[in-house]
Chain A
Amino acid sequence: MTSTIERTEAAESPATPKKGGGITGAAANYLDERTSISAVVKEFGRKIFPDHWSFMLGEVALYSFVVIILSGTFLTFFFQASMVETHYEGAFVPLKGVEMSAAMDSALHISFDVRGGLLVRQIHHWAALLFIASIGLHMLRVFFTGAFRKPRELNWMIGFVLFVLAMAEGFTGYSLPDDLLSGNGLRIIDGLIKGMPVIGTWTSFLLFGGEFPGTAIVGRLYTLHILLLPAILVAFLALHLVFVVVHKHTQFAGPGRTEKNVIGYPILPVYAAKAGGFFFLVFGVIALMASFFTINPIWNYGPYDPSPVSAGTQPDWYIGFADGALRLIPPGLEFVWLNHTWSFNIIIPVIALVLLLLFVAIYPFVESWVTGDKREHHILDRPRNAPTRTAIGAAGVTFYAALWAAASSDLMATHFQLSIEGVIHVVQAWAVLGPFIAYFITKRVCIGLMKKDREIVLHGYESGRIVRLPGGEYIEVHEQLDDYERWKLVDYESFEPIMLRPNSNGKITPVMRLRSAMSNWFFEDRIAPASRAELDAAHGHGHAPAVGTGSPARGELEDQTGGNTHH
């Protein structure tokens, strides 16, 4: 953004190498004279990142992706993406002589005949589960703290695309070994595609290169899995990170922190040590999981064959919500109309999933339209300070969780000794009613917490010490917050809903009405942060204010609530 002229000057300034730099100095000079790298170091070397544990979630995703690429590359040296039939002649006794595809054969070869091969396979798969899980948590963190607000809406979209790409990567990888479990997964995908109106039959026919299962699908998924999807993923990942640098990281409210600054540690050296070390920690956790715990035992599943199936056939966790949606749909929703088959038992779940994902993708734009807030935001919301958003998020999580739980309905039935029909009916009710209940409860809890915060700001903590005054009156002593702690609780904003006013043409359009109604709903219950005057009044009582000293203020009675919730 700064002019390029300035920057080139900066790069040329250290043109005369300092004496005594030794080999490092000489190497740095050599590099800089050819790459202008000193400008990069100057620009980014002391860039500040704020510290909060939840800011590391995106890094977990990034690092597990690196682990996936490292382990996956190793696996490609052995894996054969071919569905040519062969007879297994490897080391695993219970499959000896069994007919299977070359893909399954080579996956077994990696597991049983390559030293450390099984370890790498398990690292790859565990890392994949963690990759998508950490993306999910990262998105929840961004959502509940409002970090998606301007100027980061587009980066939210990019992140959303990464989430979808990660799921696609996961599913294509899961299907590659051509084992019984993943083969039945593909069979379900095939059925799902065939159920789509108009295009379904032909899409399935083209995807599988003829009839299901055909001999093409593993090779095609392999190309997607190791070439196309990773390439797109890396491109979007780079874009995502560029925007993180451009926007600078958000920070929570805190003393000294404003919308115009960012307080934290510099990349060199502290952040490099911590974040660099964290890569090894994430890798270490994955390695530990892979050395102790079996994942995807394809040798138990056996090769794909359209006739058998295993009890407990489930997709990996991140596809679970889609599988659950298919299980939850009520019976009988398939009709013949206009001489065509309308499989609403498939169409409705697919539409529900697409709408859910679409809503996630466009939420930042919806919220900024409803609130009318077009300012930049770099200070994060505490979830309680945005009750409606938090409640919407809780409702979404509840809905997702219902779909997710439904995908393990059979395991819940066996493990809790319930009937499978009962489990499904309960989860159906949960999926429909749960989001509303979650919305209501979350919103009330948030408002309660805001009231509590306000109370603490004005009157301090209850210390539990009861004191008898000379007049015989008993009071509980309240501990006051210091200025720094108090600032964390008051640094937020309260909004007035958008009022319905005629536009420049003197008209009120239906869209404006909708927007005003939505805005009213979004901001209907709110607690304004305590003002200076309220603070003084609460601490005043004719005595000297005991603000910021931490010493108990006298005369603080519990019934003095400053509950003016509306302005």
Chain B
Amino acid sequence: MARRSRKANRRHPLATVLLIAIGLVVTGGGYAAFSSTTAATAETDMSSQQVIDEGEKLFASNCATCHGMSLQGTDDGPSLIGVGAASVNFQVGTGRMPLAMQGPQAMQKPVQFTDEQTAAMAAYVASISPGPAIPDASLLQADGDAANGGELFRINCAMCHNVAGAGGALTEGKYAPELTGVLATHIYEAMLTGPQNMPVFNDDNLTPEDKRDIITYLKYVENNPSPGGFELGNLGPVAEGLFAWIFGLGAIIGLMVWLTAKSN
């Protein structure tokens, strides 16, 4: 009898609730710690001939199979004439290129090249034909007007990327990626160049200041904790409903079973 009683104490429902709470705090905290990123800026002189030559070599060995020796494109990859350094920096800098396999869209992968190598390829592509340049650091400091950025983000971006930048589904297996943890440079370049199925937002649509404001908004959401507690992935009512059913009602049912079980 005494043994059974101790066993019952060990299963104290409050302990379960606390354990769940502690587990969630720990994982949430860990996640928050890992998702904060540091911006690395490559200090490379984009106009130096040495850099361009280095880029040409890298391009010939890594990209030319699909994009052609003179950037003209092939059946396997689009032409890169006029895409500019910004596009190269985005596609290679986020690991989307080189492509691992053909699919609905290029996936983010571990980055294959160093910042210097990426910059060299960008310099080479930009040297063949002009296009959007890598944005100026002054626009990437997340120091603009977050309110304006938020409004523009909701109108121009949220339908695909979700109001909190959690990403969303597109047609035929494509998706708009999550925006948390993405470098300001890459966000800017994506707006400027419209990678893959993302539309282009040129400077007449969203001015450089508008883009800065959007980055400011996204960084505000990313760097400040949600005031109400853990966000449950910012996925909205679906995540909330599942949580209420599984954890909320689950905990309550656990308490119900304890409450109606006969005491030892």
**Are any A and B Cβ atoms less than 8 Å apart in their complex?**
yes
Residues of A within 8 A of B (CB): 51-57, 60, 93-98, 111-112, 118, 122, 126, 129-130, 133-134, 137, 180-181, 274, 277-278, 281-282, 285-286, 288-297, 299-302, 305, 307-318, 320, 407-411, 413-414, 417-422
Q: Does B78 interact with chain A (Cβ within 8 Å)?
A: no
User: CB-nearest residue of chain B relative to A282?
Assistant: B252
Contact of B236 among A51, A281, A312 (CB under 8 A): A312
Please determine whether B245 and A408 come into contact, CB atoms closer than 8 angstroms. no
User: CB-nearest residue of chain A relative to B163?
Assistant: A310
Cα-based distance from A329 to B122 in the complex (angstroms): 48
Chain B nearest Cβ from A106, distance in angstroms:
17
Contact of B159 among A282, A288, A308 (CB under 8 A): A308
User: CB-nearest residue of chain B relative to A302?
Assistant: B154
Please determine whether B241 and A95 come into contact, CB atoms closer than 8 angstroms. no
List B214-259 residues whose CB lies under 8 Å from chain A: 217, 220-221, 226-232, 234-238, 240-245, 247-249, 251-253, 255-257, 259
Q: A53-B260, A129-B240, A294-B226 are in contact. List 14 more A-B contacts (CB 8 A).
A: A133-B249, A137-B249, A274-B260, A282-B255, A285-B248, A292-B229, A294-B228, A296-B237, A299-B227, A308-B155, A311-B161, A320-B237, A409-B169, A414-B175
Cα-based distance from A295 to B243 in the complex (angstroms): 10
Please determine whether B151 and A419 come into contact, CB atoms closer than 8 angstroms. no
Chain B nearest Cβ from A494, distance in angstroms:
29
Which of B49-57, B142-150, B203-211 touches A? B142-150
Query: In the assembled complex, which residues on chain A have CB atoms less than 8 Å from the CB atom of B159?
Result: 308-311
| Residue from A95, A278, A285, A296 having most chain B Cβ neighbours under 10 A | A285
Q: Does B104 interact with chain A (Cβ within 8 Å)?
A: yes
> A285-B252, A285-B255, A421-B172 known; A308 and B158 CB under 8 Å?
yes
| Chain A binding surface, main DSSP class | helix
User: CB-nearest residue of chain B relative to A301?
Assistant: B163
Query: In the assembled complex, which residues on chain B have CB atoms less than 8 Å from the CB atom of A314?
Result: 236-238
Query: In the assembled complex, which residues on chain B have CB atoms less than 8 Å from the CB atom of A133?
Result: 244-245, 248-249
User: CB-nearest residue of chain A relative to B258?
Assistant: A53
Contact of A293 among B162, B228, B251, B259 (CB under 8 A): B228
Query: In the assembled complex, which residues on chain B have CB atoms less than 8 Å from the CB atom of A309?
Result: 158-159
> A133-B244, A285-B251 known; A291 and B229 CB under 8 Å?
yes
> A288-B17, A300-B221 known; A94 and B237 CB under 8 Å?
no
> A308-B158, A311-B160, A418-B173 known; A294 and B232 CB under 8 Å?
yes
| Residue from B21, B160, B228 having most chain A Cβ neighbours under 10 A | B228
Please determine whether B154 and A305 come into contact, CB atoms closer than 8 angstroms. yes
Q: Does B41 interact with chain A (Cβ within 8 Å)?
A: no
Please determine whether A129 and B241 come into contact, CB atoms closer than 8 angstroms. yes
Please determine whether A130 and B240 come into contact, CB atoms closer than 8 angstroms. no
Query: In the assembled complex, which residues on chain A have CB atoms less than 8 Å from the CB atom of B82?
Result: none
Chain A nearest Cβ from B156, distance in angstroms:
8
> A305-B154, A314-B236, A316-B240 known; A93 and B146 CB under 8 Å?
yes
Please determine whether B146 and A94 come into contact, CB atoms closer than 8 angstroms. yes
List B136-192 residues whose CB lies under 8 Å from chain A: 146-147, 149-151, 154-155, 158-164, 166-173, 175-176
Please determine whether A130 and B244 come into contact, CB atoms closer than 8 angstroms. yes
Q: Does B24 interact with chain A (Cβ within 8 Å)?
A: yes
Please determine whether B238 and A408 come into contact, CB atoms closer than 8 angstroms. yes
Please determine whether B248 and A130 come into contact, CB atoms closer than 8 angstroms. yes
Between-chain CB contacts (< 8 Å), 25 pairs: A53-B253, A56-B256, A60-B249, A94-B149, A96-B147, A98-B151, A118-B228, A129-B244, A133-B249, A278-B259, A292-B230, A293-B230, A293-B243, A294-B227, A294-B230, A294-B232, A295-B228, A302-B151, A308-B158, A311-B168, A312-B168, A317-B242, A413-B175, A414-B167, A417-B173
Query: In the assembled complex, which residues on chain B have CB atoms less than 8 Å from the CB atom of A53?
Result: 253, 256-257, 259-261
Cα-based distance from A294 to B232 in the complex (angstroms): 7
Query: In the assembled complex, which residues on chain B have CB atoms less than 8 Å from the CB atom of A297?
Result: 164, 226, 228, 231, 234
Cα-based distance from A122 to B167 in the complex (angstroms): 24
Query: In the assembled complex, which residues on chain B have CB atoms less than 8 Å from the CB atom of A293?
Result: 228-230, 232, 243
Chain A nearest Cβ from B127, distance in angstroms:
38
Query: In the assembled complex, which residues on chain B have CB atoms less than 8 Å from the CB atom of A408?
Result: 238
Chain B 18-47 interface 0/1 with A at a Cβ cutoff of 8 Å (1 = within): 000100110000000000000000000000
Query: In the assembled complex, which residues on chain B have CB atoms less than 8 Å from the CB atom of A316?
Result: 237, 240-241
Give the 3 A-B residue pairs with the shortest CB-CB distance, closest first.
Answer: A311-B168, A317-B241, A294-B228
Cα-based distance from A214 to B59 in the complex (angstroms): 57
Query: In the assembled complex, which residues on chain B have CB atoms less than 8 Å from the CB atom of A300?
Result: 163-164, 221, 234
Please determine whether A278 and B238 come into contact, CB atoms closer than 8 angstroms. no
Query: In the assembled complex, which residues on chain B have CB atoms less than 8 Å from the CB atom of A320?
Result: 237-238, 241
Contact of B163 among A52, A57, A302, A411 (CB under 8 A): A302
Query: In the assembled complex, which residues on chain B have CB atoms less than 8 Å from the CB atom of A291?
Result: 229
User: CB-nearest residue of chain A relative to B232?
Assistant: A293
Please determine whether A112 and B227 come into contact, CB atoms closer than 8 angstroms. yes
> A93-B147, A407-B238, A420-B169 known; A288 and B158 CB under 8 Å?
no
Contact of A308 among B154, B173, B220, B227 (CB under 8 A): B154
Chain B nearest Cβ from A402, distance in angstroms:
15
Cα-based distance from A118 to B170 in the complex (angstroms): 34
Chain B nearest Cβ from A277, distance in angstroms:
8
Cα-based distance from A286 to B146 in the complex (angstroms): 33
> A53-B260, A56-B259 known; A134 and B237 CB under 8 Å?
no
Please determine whether B163 and A274 come into contact, CB atoms closer than 8 angstroms. no
Contact of B252 among A60, A97, A294 (CB under 8 A): A60
Chain B nearest Cβ from A2, distance in angstroms:
31
Chain B nearest Cβ from A88, distance in angstroms:
8
Please determine whether B154 and A294 come into contact, CB atoms closer than 8 angstroms. no
Please determine whether B155 and A307 come into contact, CB atoms closer than 8 angstroms. yes
> A56-B256, A312-B236 known; A111 and B227 CB under 8 Å?
yes
Please determine whether A286 and B248 come into contact, CB atoms closer than 8 angstroms. yes
Please determine whether B238 and A317 come into contact, CB atoms closer than 8 angstroms. yes
| Residue from B172, B253, B256 having most chain A Cβ neighbours under 10 A | B256
| Residue from B24, B169, B171, B231 having most chain A Cβ neighbours under 10 A | B169
Contact of A281 among B244, B252, B260 (CB under 8 A): B252
